Amino acid sequence: MDAAPDARRTAVAVRDLRLALPEGGDRAYAVDGVSFDLVAGEILCLVGESGSGKSMCAHALMGLLPKAVRPAGGTIRLGDLDLAAQDEAGWRDTRGRRIAMIFQEPMTALNPLMRIGDQMAEMFEAHGLLTPRARRARVLALAEEVGLPEPGRIVRAYPHQLSGGQRQRAMIAMALALEPAILVADEPTTALDVTTQAQILGLIRALQARRNMAVLFITHDFGVVAEIADRVMVLRHGRVVEAGTAAAVLGRPQAAYTKALLAAVPSMDPPPRTPPGGLKAVEVAGLEKTYVTGGGWWRKPRRVEAARDVAFALHRGETLGLVGESGSGKSSVARLVMRLIEPDRGTVRLGDTDLTRLRGEALRRARSRIQMVFQDPFASLNPRRKVGRIIADGPMAHGVAEAEAMARARRLVDLVGLDAGALDRFPHEFSGGQRQRIGIARALALEPEVLVADEAVSALDVSVQAQVLALLEDLKQRLGLSMLFITHDLRVAAQICDRIAVMRRGEIVELKSAAGLFADPEHPYTRALLDAVPGRPRRAA
């Protein structure tokens, strides 16, 4: 299937691309017979779940395929040049000059030991362009073009000194440095909060239109597709299942798989819920936490208020959402509630127990009543232990006999929808969604009263995300759990939360029912967050 509308304006033509996987796997090809055109002045979105082949298509366009993946057929034509047949010397000349890439995670793509300006200037140096003085001037101009604040300061900073959005803008500046005709963006906004995401999407769209670039934009977020795409191509298992204009694919999908993906996108309309009440599982009052960093002989220390007079109650059987931008304090509040960090002042009550007063063994026993599901299960699961032991370790640490702990692990893997064979496998043998189920099982192993879920579904595809959200809701009902759910995704919050607290700069600025918040947001910051959700119609001024 070909997604090309007009070959006369084609910047890159991909025909029958095949990328072979090592023998012995689940399938022979990572990409199997894919054809599409990148057209000047348009954005083509590649959509699909993890493993669909969309990132492999991007890496093939950049000559950055993993060693285990080998070209097995097809052509990638950039004018008269067949990119698929280039040697490394040819790629060095093509990359940056004619085709450039924005990576998903700028913190890992940027060199932590080099200043941002030096990394941007390196693009010109690698191609033998401009004098050192001209490079510095061009770096400042690029920083201004992508909207970096205080460009003179930013170009002297290191990556860790910038916010996520600023690092992504720096990556975009590097990609645009040599004015390429084609831009490849691989999930460039996945890890960003909604307002920063909206800014980056607007920036890419504006730069693309100004420079008349062809853009290949890879994403699994249909809200982003609705916001930015001119055309859409849906991949599954390395093959194209549907392609067409954004309006046609989103509004009148033909393939069953496309319909299933669209159906899995969380709605912004909260389902009807019974208002919470009754006993309080967690009560937070006057919680405050300030981080102090830096400082020295000539510099004042930097103070960041992560929590300022935070107060809320989580009722038994309720899901309370904490939403806000990166740096709003929501994850710090979660860790304060868990007593993973110490508050400066305030109280956290777990039922009748004041957690802030506990120390030592008493705190360790109380922690069994409140457990956390982390954002990245692959990072939080011990890669050297089998799943059964990962789940059983918690109960065993609290005095449960090994036989009983393993029996509990068997019950839990069944409860979260995995087969018993999962107990004897290692975390790397599972998909992202399956690993998150293991993380949930581990959190439930101590039979807690409260679950704290910190961005527990933000890294998952929409269909897997829907499955994990349904699992959490089912477990909450069956086990009588209360849940503190931290997320920057307002669509997810709408579907799972009974009430939502909006955080900004360490403060809760609005707290009401999910239905009330989405129907009638009161605080300007809440309205700004809702308006920034990609694909959502903008609110009238």
pLDDT of residue 278: 79
**DSSP structure class, residue 342:** -
Q: For position 537, what pLDDT does the model report?
A: 56
Q: Which candidate, 148, 224, 243, places its Cα nearest to that of 186?
A: 224
The CB density around residue 158, as the number of other CB atoms within 10 Å, is: 15
Could you list the mean pLDDT of each consecutive 10-residue stretch along the chain, which spans 541 residues?
55 94 82 94 92 90 90 91 86 89 84 94 90 93 89 90 85 90 88 82 89 92 90 95 95 94 88 82 95 72 87 95 89 92 95 92 92 83 93 93 95 90 90 86 93 85 85 90 92 93 95 94 94 70 46
| Cα–Cα dist 127/3, whole Å | 33
Is 84 in contact with 18 (CB distance < 8 Å)? no
pLDDT digits (tens, 9 = 90+) for 394-446: 999 999 999 999 999 999 999 998 888 999 999 988 877 788 899 999 999 99
| Token pair belonging to 115 | 């200043």
Q: Can you give the length of the chain in residues?
A: 541
Q: Which of 271, 275, 232 is nearest to 250 (CA)?
A: 232
- Give the span between the Cα atoms of 389 and 88, in whole angstroms: 46
| Token pair 């026993």: residue | 365
Sheet of strand 70-78, all strands in order from the earlier edge strand to the far edge: 29-39, 10-20, 70-78, 81-82
What predicted TM-score, i.e. pTM, was given to this entire model? Answer: 0.81
Q: How high is the pLDDT of residue 296? A: 64
For residue 70, the surrounding DSSP H or E stretch is strand 70-78
Token reading at 403: 């036989």
Residues 6+ apart with CB under 8 A from 26: none
DSSP letters, 384-435, are TS-HHHHHHHHHHHTT--HHHHHHHHHHHHHHTT--GGGGGS-GGGS-HHHH
The domains found in the chain, sorted by start residue, are 1-98+182-188+214-263 (3.40.50.300), 316-341+357-532 (3.40.50.300)
User: What are the tokens at 362?
Assistant: 């008493």
Q: What was the pLDDT predicted at 213?
A: 92
Phi (first) and psi of residue 411, to 5 degrees: -65, -40
Q: Are 415 and 424 in contact (CB under 8 A)?
A: no
Rounded to the nearest angstrom, the gap between the alpha carbon of residue 464 and the centroid of all alpha carbons in its chain is: 14
Dist CA 57 CA 238 (whole Å): 9
User: What pLDDT score was predicted for residue 149?
Assistant: 85
Tell me the backbone φ, ψ of residue 353, rounded to 5 degrees.
-100, 130
